[in-house]
Structure 1
């Protein structure tokens, strides 16, 4: 049987606006791309359109070649974000593809800090201002706004805030150092004193994270999560 003429056992719905991108991703057997569907505003309605596989691959390759902090990389990511209207989950899909685990942890921590401050500013707005109802949960895409359908109902001004905050948080992410042990991998050894482990963890964080508040947040989290079982019982 000619593979080019072999019937598709899982045909795509022709009414689906993302059919072309889904088909391309399926043929490439690329699950990450298949999941990375980003929103675009068309006639003021949020319509789910596929971010092309080429754009995603180009962004990933640019980060690998030049690093996340390179001007060309920054410009490319900003262009992609300006072309598409991202819901919060879109950043959670795209950024793990172009960041290391350490970088994404820093971005996520800074994002929480920024959204908290922005939500407080929104609450102080006038009663009729649509941004007044945009909370930290809305901006982060969590709790009642965890599902894509709920995020698609966020007003345009709210999604604009999501984009601005996400890009602002990205600026605080340090460049990946391939020759340095990521701080997320620093764990307390079985017979290592807890304070010695904390010193090693703190030293790594100081070298890899510039933002003090993000560093403190991650330190407290990893001090518990990466402690050995005996110390975790006490903590």
Structure 2
């Protein structure tokens, strides 16, 4: 793979429904020593390995296997492969850091409570938190997140539970999202398409964390 090629990767958004409160999402904090998104809050995930291709007939199937494997490795949470729902695919172009072609999947949390066990070296901590609460921490400077994570949190904050998120995902196409910069009235904005289900589709380039 050349330096210009995007690295195939996968991410899993695990949604835990709550009876009288917004659902919680499984998130992890990356070590600050990592070259890409060091210290950022992200959903569990990582590169697609050769083993993920075993029995897979497409890149999306290999990505689903990788998402399940990485979630188990990083947090100790086991998710059934058949529970996954395609949600998005992000592939930033024209960036100076390593490029990832990342498949995002949704899955409901297991019914049984499982103690999260963050993997040393892969994540500093793993936690359940509502999308709105995570966005509030990011806005207050108590946490950091890259542009795709923020946009996905805003999208997920719309839903009262996994079923709503799943139905919304199935109602929108999964297309490669490659954010671009456009200028409006002298201000540069990092922008994504408007038809893919995201309530916020642009952010000032000066505030968007892309690395």
Which protein is bigger by CA-based radius of gyration? 1
TM-score between the two structures when normalised by the length of structure 1:
0.27
Bigger RCO of structures 1 and 2 (CA < 8 A, at least 6 apart): 2
